[in-house]
Structure 1
Amino acid sequence: MNILILGIGNLLLGDEGVGVRVVEALERRFILSPPVEILDGGTSGMALMEIMSGRDSLIVADAVLTGAPPGSVTVLRDAEVPALFSRKISPHQLGLSDVLTALRLTDEFPRRLTLVGIEPESLAPGIGLTPTVSAAIEPALNHVLALLAQAGVNAVPRDAGQQTANGPAGVNMPPGR
């Protein structure tokens, strides 16, 4: 299966960088089988066209303005995704909308497109997420994991080997137990 999980966002604009943080958490915490391509797309826009083309599935994590409360997670599929970017947060979303349009015109649009969007609380210049949006990473990550499971991809926690050898993760077991 040809799957790309793409995190989009500007880490210099507070909560706008949440998509990048979601894919970082996925890559840091899970081993995916079969392997899936995970990419921090930052604010690359049209430069992402080649890597996005011809995918069986493209999962995009990004900050989105839907009018929902800050920290809300929204999952959109296929034709719903480009329509959302008509109300953009930052210039990279215009670029992503352009890439999706170009992929459709060249018959290289992904077979399945899913956006896991998180409503930002602050887009003020600065590095770091607000606590509200930081707390939304886990629910967003769970949506990504569910999408991967539907595609037949297993996600094994990176510390799973440690859990079986040493008891639950984060718990120090005495020797011989």
Structure 2
Amino acid sequence: MRVVILGVGNILLTDEGVGVYAVNELLARYDLPEEVEVIDGGTSGMDCLDQVSGADHLLIADAMRAKKDPGTITRLSGDQIPAFFKTKISPHQVGISDMLAALNFHGLMPANIVLFGIEPQSFATAMELSPGIAAILPQVVDMIVAELKTLGLSVRPKAA
């Protein structure tokens, strides 16, 4: 089994970078099994095509404008994801939808895709998350870890 965790976002625009912060926090807090590859995709969805292609499971962490309260975490999977990309929700979203379309076209689409979308509070120019979004970052990481465990993978906290 091959699992790819992709964190996307622009860390120059406050909460737009929450996906990148989430995967970096995951790597800082947990030892992951060799079946798991973590990618800081930044804003370059298509550049991650080779790394994502052929994965059995793809987990994506990203900012998501869903008209919910800031800090709301939404989990989408399967057929929910194409519907999600019909409306523009973040500046780099075209890159992700293009990447998924290319994977599908070439028959390399991961069998299972889960998206963790975090409602942003701010897109101001700053290289840190807003306090409200920074406060829920551990919850995002916990959700990713729980997803890995449902796949039967052993995820252990790093020794202090």
TM-score class, shorter-chain normalisation, is over 0.9
Moved over 6 A (4+): none
Residue number in structure 2 paired with 1:136: 136
Q: State the match for 1:36 in structure 2.
A: 36
Q: Percent identity?
A: 43
What is the one-letter code of the residue matched to 1:79?
A: D
Residue pair 2:31, 2:157 contacting (<8 A) in 1 also: yes
RMSD over equivalenced CA pairs, Å: 1.2
Following the alignment from structure 1 to structure 2, what is the Cα–Cα distance between the partners of residues 62 and 82?
15
Whole-angstrom CA distance in 1 between matches of 2:33 and 2:81: 27
Q: What TM-score results when the alignment is normalised by the length of structure 2? A: 0.95
Number of paired residues? 160
**Structure 2 gap ranges (5+):** none
How far residue 34 of structure 1 moved from its aligned partner, in angstroms, is: 4.2
2:48 corresponding residue in structure 1: 48
Asked if 1 retains the 8 angstrom alpha-carbon contact of 2:65 and 2:90, the reply is: no
Check whether the contact 1:9–1:41 (CA below 8 A) recurs between aligned residues: yes
SS at match of 1:91: coil
1:99 aligns to what? 99
What pairs up with 1:28-177 in 2 under 5 angstroms?
28-159=28-159
Match of 1:172 in 2: none
Partner SS, residue 132 of structure 1: helix
C-alpha deviation, 1:49, in angstroms? 1.1
Larger Rg over CA atoms: 1
State the distance in 1 between where 2:70 and 2:23 align: 19
Bigger RCO (CA 8 Å, 6+ sep): 2
